[in-house]
Structures are given as structure tokens and as C-alpha cells.
Structure 1
Amino acid sequence: MRYIIIGAGAVGGTVGGRLAQAGREVVLVARGKHLTELDAHGLRLRVPEGELTYRLPAVDRPGPLGELRADDVLVLAVKTQDTVSALDAWAGTPVEGGGTAAERLPLVCLQNGVESGRLALRRFRHVYGVCVWLPATFVEPGVVSAAGTPLTGILHLGRLPYGTDDTARRIAADLADARFEAPVVPDVARWQHAKLLANLSNAIEALTGTRDTEAAQALLARVRAEGEAVLDAAGIAYTSDAEQRAARGDKVTLVPLDGTPRGGGSSWQSLARGTGTIEADYLNGEIALLGRLHGVPAPLNELLQHLANRFARERRAAGSMPVAELVRRADAAEQP
């Protein structure tokens, strides 16, 4: 199989680089300065064993590839807010032997949140979801860092909306050869909703620069409790903390990388790069949406969604709001 990584940023670049290291055929899809660097110098993947460089085909759209191959796997690794444009670009691409990508090829949603799978199922017949637990950083064009060892990440994988098949197992086997654990599960959405709850802290980190202080942790507990109440009211199942800890164990331990500070998670990175957008609408905003649909107030997640979008739109610096100020606003948001 050939893997076409649509969105070769932190997660996509790490998975693409590791697959290439394992001898799999990989094409990277990127844009702007990142694409220019990939063309000129290759993908520089900084991992615990050092900096690895992979000179891989890199494109910004389907056109340069011509007809797609029947053994291609499309790996969608853009932020959720960029999903529709990516799906529109690739769905109608012809595949050798007839038909289009949307009709014939597997599409793997390697993304946070749960909305991308729903968007993909409107266009593609064969959609696979992934619960992404892969600490990785992309803030410099051409360079992606992943500090996990002995495994680079854990990627629960399954068909959407439910089930497993041979394609999922073949993809999982390739990922296993590439330093990932990739359990194939029939209920991947249950894992994704658990990760959604964990990702509710992304906005806190992006706004304040931390999620580890006592004040940030106390706020996160309130935000997560609100998220759990919403999912419970909606009847949406999610894996427990104990089940997640058992699955992860000590398989992915973060180690310092020479010359590469860890930085923050995906939302922090969006603000740090000044992209102008952030995925809060599909993390905290997912809880806000479900809360409205099921009559459960979610003022804290609404606040984080609003502030994160404002910071992105105004290109404000990551971590520029004091935690105490965010807590003050959260307290006010909960007042009747």
C-alpha cells in the first residue's frame, strides 16, 4: 500500500516519516513554506534516536499524482477546520481501473475530535477513525518532532461508524512496523470520545501556556466534568481512565530531544505558528453543541471555545493569558 499523508504536520509528518523508515511508500501533502522545505531538504523528523531525513514525494494537491493507485490509502491529518476543503480536493480524484477516491479508496481520519469522521462519511464510502495518542510538535517548516519512546504513539483504529475489516488490520500491521501500537477495535468512536474529553484541556494550554499548575488542573477538572455530563446526557459511551491507562501503560515515554523544546499540544502549536485558526470549535465546541442539543449547560467549554477562536483570529501569542485571569472568567461564566 502507498500512504498519502494529507496534512504532513505534527501527527501526519510523524506517521509519514515513521512509515517511510519502515520501508513503506509515502507521499506527503503540504502547503506554503512547509512544502517548500520538504521539496528542498526533505522531511526532518526529530525523534529520540536523532534527526532523520526522508526525501519523499511532496505535493500540494492531487493533480501532480495523476490517477491514484488502487492500493493507495488516504490519511487525513489536517486540523478539523480544514477537513472539508481537503475532502473536496481529493474525493473526486480518479483511481486507476475506474471510479474515484471517494468510491474506492480507504480514508483514515488521523485527527482529534469526532466531527471529521462524520464529514468524511458524507463523501467517502470507506472511512476509518483513529484515536490519536501521539505527542508530536510542528512549529518549524520542514521539521517535525516526536519525543515518545519506545513507541512513538498509540493509534486505536477501526471502521466508522463501527466495525473492523482486513484493510484496518493491514494498516495496523504497517503502523506496528513503524513504531506504533495500533489496536484494531470495533468501537473506535468510544476511544475517540475519551480522547475528546482529554483534548478539552488544549484550549487552556493554548491560552495560558500550561495545563500542569494546580490552578490549571483545577480548572481542567471543572471543564472535564462538564464534558462528561454532556456526553452522559447524550448517551455517548467513552472509555474510562482506567481502561486508557491499561492500554497505554509505559509504552510511550517522552524524552528530551536535543535542540527541540516540547512546546505544547496541537492548539498551542496553532497559536505559536500564527495560523489564524484553531480547532476549538471541534473540541470544546463539540461539547457546547451536544450540550445545546441535550439541554445541558456547558458555559466553561463555550468560554474556552470563544477565547481560543479569538486568540487565533487576532493572532495573539500562545500562553499570553494568565491562568488567574482565565479562572476569573470561568467563575463568571458559571454565574446564573
Structure 2
Amino acid sequence: MRYVVIGAGAIGGTIGGRLGQHGHEVVLVARGAHADRLRDKGLRLLTPTGPVELHAPVANSPADVELTTDDVLVLAVKVQDAAAVLPEWAAAPVAGTGGGTAGQLLPVLCAQNGVEGERLALRWFRRVVGACVYLPASHLEPGVVTSEGTPVSGGLVLGRYPRGRDELVERLAADLAGAGFATTVSDDVTAAKRGKLLENTGNALDAVCRPGDGWDELRDRARAEGEAALSAAGLPAQDRRTALPELHRLGFTTVDVTGTGRLGSSSWQSLHRGGSIETDWLNGEVVQLGRAHDVPTPVNEALQVLAATSVRHGLGPRAFGVDDVLALAERLAGGPARPSPAGA
């Protein structure tokens, strides 16, 4: 199989880089300066065991790739960008099929945080593979991705979406295991993804809030709100040790690869690069469930508001303090009268 990695950033670059390193055919899809650097210099994947250099074909869009029936599309853009790229890739022709399209004939593997990517993909693709991704990685420089996990690059729980497993999913899991990832196949991949969603409620806090007294308590409150909302909705969530015990058995951890330490979560990286942020599909998922099932979620809503404020005004990472988050959460908990935060 050939892997067409749509979004060769932190997650996609690590998956594509490791697959390419272990002999799989890979196409990296990227844009802008990152795509230019990938074309000119190749992908430089920095890992705990040394750099990996991958020179693979680079595409900007489906027009740059002749798709075949041997292709698997790996959707690794942030979930907020998925709705823009899914229909164009679904409409792409597949060579030698008499007019068949990718949406009709090819599988798409959704390697994203949150629980919305697979649901979106199912609108345009008949075959959707869900992936719960535990993969610490950073992408802050064009052409360079840092993979910080050891002794494997990360872990993936795979399954058909919305449920079940098949021969394709088993083969994908085997390919990824052979490329340096801990993998398992689940009949309910979305339960694993909900568990990861609870972990990811802290991403926005890391992105918008400076460390200080009360920071850990805010993170715990955001997660507790998520647990309460999922419980009220009757939606099961598997934690990491239940969904992917292999990571615990291996003693999986992160290490400092570049000498600067891990600077921040994927949401922190988005604000650092000046792009959009996935908070609406992480903390915002909790907020939506809370509203639907009468569960208060003021901390998650405050983080959602402050993340949007940071993007809208180009504030960069950690522009707010713990007191700012607490004050806004208290106001939001007070009822329908919701004053805007300072600077919003």
C-alpha cells in the first residue's frame, strides 16, 4: 500500500516519516514554506535515536497525485481544517477505475484529536478508519518535525468507523507497528478517542494560560467537566491504559530531542505558528455535550473563548493568567448574561 499523508505536520510528518523509513511508499501533502522545504530538502524527522531523512514525493493538492486503488489516505490535518480538504480529496479520480473517485474507492484514516474528524469523513468517504493517536510531536520549522516519544514514537488505536474491524484495519495496524508505533485494533475506536478527548481538554489551557498557582486545578476541572458531560450523554470513554496497554508496558515516555524541551501541546504550537486552533473541537465538544445534557462546563467554555480571542487578536501562546481563566469561568457559570473577556 502507498500512504498519502494529508497534512505532513507534527502527527502526519511522524507517521509518514516512520512509514517511509521502514520501506513503505509515502506521499507527503503540505502547503506553503513547509511544502517547499520538503520538496527541496526532504523531511527531517528528529527522534530520540537520531534524525531520519525522508525524500518522498510532495503534493499540494489532489491534482498533484495520481491516486490508485493501492492508496490509503491518512488525514492528519487539524480537525478544524478537515471539512475543507475532505471533499476535494473525496472527489479526486482513482486511476484505472473508469471514473471511480477516492471517496468511493479508497479508505481514509483519520489521525486527529477530537471525535469529529471521522464523522466528517463519513460524509464523503465510504470507508473510514478511526485512529486514537497518542503521539508527542512538534512542528515549528518548515521541513522539520520532532518526534519525542520513546521507546516507540507513539501509539495508535485503530478501528473501522463507526464500529468494527476488518482485514484492512488489521493490515494498517501491522504496518504502523512495524514502523515503530504501538498499535491495537478496537471494535469501538470512538470510546478510545473520547478518552483521549478528556486528556486533550488541557491543551487549550497549555496554549492560552501561563503557568501559576491554580493551573493544575484548572486542568483537573476541565477534565472533570468532560467526564461529567460524557457520562450524562451515556458515552463511554476508555483511558490510555485500557485502550492501549502496550504503551504502559513499554514504559512509554517523552524525551528532550532538541535540547529545548517540549515547548507546548499541539494547541500551543498552533498559536505559536499564528494559525487556527482546534479548541472548538476539544473543549468545545465538552461544552456542546454539556449544553445538550444540562451539565455545567464553565472552565471548558472559558478556555474555548480565550483560545478564540488569542487567534482573533494574534496574541500568541499563554497571553492569559490563571486568574483570567477563573474569572471568566465564574462569569460564564453565572447564567445567560455573559460579558466578553477583556480584549475579546
Specify the TM-score bucket, using the shorter chain as the normaliser.
Answer: over 0.9
Report the alpha carbon displacement of residue 94 of structure 1 after superposing the two structures with TM. 1.0
In the aligned structure 2, how far is the partner of 1:323 from the partner of 1:244?
A: 32
Partner of 1:219: 218
Does the 8 Å CA contact 1:209/1:268 hold for their aligned counterparts? no
Report the alpha carbon displacement of residue 140 of structure 1 after superposing the two structures with TM. 0.7
Partner of 2:46: 46
Letter in 2 for 1:197: L
Q: Deviations over 1:275-313 (max 9, x none)?
A: 1x1111100111111122222222221111111011012
Deviates more, 1:93-102 or 1:76-85: 93-102
Gaps in structure 2 of 5+ consecutive residues: 336-344
Partner of 1:181: 182
Q: How does 1:1-336 map to 2 (within 5 A)?
A: 1-66=1-66, 68-98=67-97, 99-210=100-211, 215-240=214-239, 243=242, 246-249=245-248, 250-275=250-275, 277-336=276-335
- The alignment partner of 2:319 has SS state of coil
Report the alpha carbon displacement of residue 85 of structure 1 after superposing the two structures with TM. 1.1
In the aligned structure 2, how far is the partner of 1:260 from the partner of 1:101?
A: 41
Gaps in structure 1 of 5+ consecutive residues: none
Report the alpha carbon displacement of residue 317 of structure 1 after superposing the two structures with TM. 1.6
In the aligned structure 1, how far is the partner of 2:92 from the partner of 2:245?
A: 41
In the aligned structure 1, how far is the partner of 2:305 from the partner of 2:37?
A: 34
The Cα RMSD (Å) is 1.5
Does the 8 Å CA contact 2:196/2:239 hold for their aligned counterparts? no
Does the 8 Å CA contact 2:218/2:299 hold for their aligned counterparts? no
Report the alpha carbon displacement of residue 242 of structure 1 after superposing the two structures with TM. 5.3
Letter in 2 for 1:180: F
Letter in 2 for 1:298: T
Does the 8 Å CA contact 1:145/1:260 hold for their aligned counterparts? no
Partner of 2:340: none
Letter in 2 for 1:265: S
What TM-score does the superposition give when structure 1 sets the normalisation length?
Answer: 0.95
In the aligned structure 1, how far is the partner of 2:63 from the partner of 2:102?
A: 13
What TM-score does the superposition give when structure 2 sets the normalisation length?
Answer: 0.93
In the aligned structure 1, how far is the partner of 2:138 from the partner of 2:239?
A: 27
- The alignment partner of 2:206 has SS state of helix
Q: Deviations over 1:4-23 (max 9, x none)?
A: 00000000000000000110
Report the alpha carbon displacement of residue 229 of structure 1 after superposing the two structures with TM. 1.0
Are residues 209 and 27 of structure 1, via their aligned partners in 2, closer, same or farther at CA, if it must alter by over 3 Å? farther
Deviates more, 1:188-197 or 1:233-242: 233-242
In the aligned structure 2, how far is the partner of 1:126 from the partner of 1:291?
A: 30
Letter in 2 for 1:288: V
In the aligned structure 1, how far is the partner of 2:283 from the partner of 2:188?
A: 22
Does the 8 Å CA contact 2:158/2:185 hold for their aligned counterparts? yes
Q: Deviations over 1:183-234 (max 9, x none)?
A: 0111100000000111000110001245xx6621111111111111111111
In the aligned structure 1, how far is the partner of 2:226 from the partner of 2:315?
A: 26
Are residues 262 and 292 of structure 1, via their aligned partners in 2, closer, same or farther at CA, if it must alter by over 3 Å? same
Q: Deviations over 1:6-41 (max 9, x none)?
A: 000000000000000110000000001110111111
- The alignment partner of 2:236 has SS state of coil
- The alignment partner of 1:201 has SS state of helix
Letter in 1 for 2:262: R
Using the aligned pairs only, state the percent identity.
Answer: 48
In the aligned structure 2, how far is the partner of 1:226 from the partner of 1:158?
A: 27
In the aligned structure 2, how far is the partner of 1:325 from the partner of 1:248?
A: 36
Count matched residues.
332
Letter in 2 for 1:9: G
Does the 8 Å CA contact 2:48/2:150 hold for their aligned counterparts? yes
Letter in 2 for 1:85: A
Deviates more, 1:256-265 or 1:296-305: 256-265
- The alignment partner of 1:182 has SS state of strand
Q: Deviations over 1:48-98 (max 9, x none)?
A: 1122211110010011223x1111000000011110111022001111232
Report the alpha carbon displacement of residue 173 of structure 1 after superposing the two structures with TM. 0.8
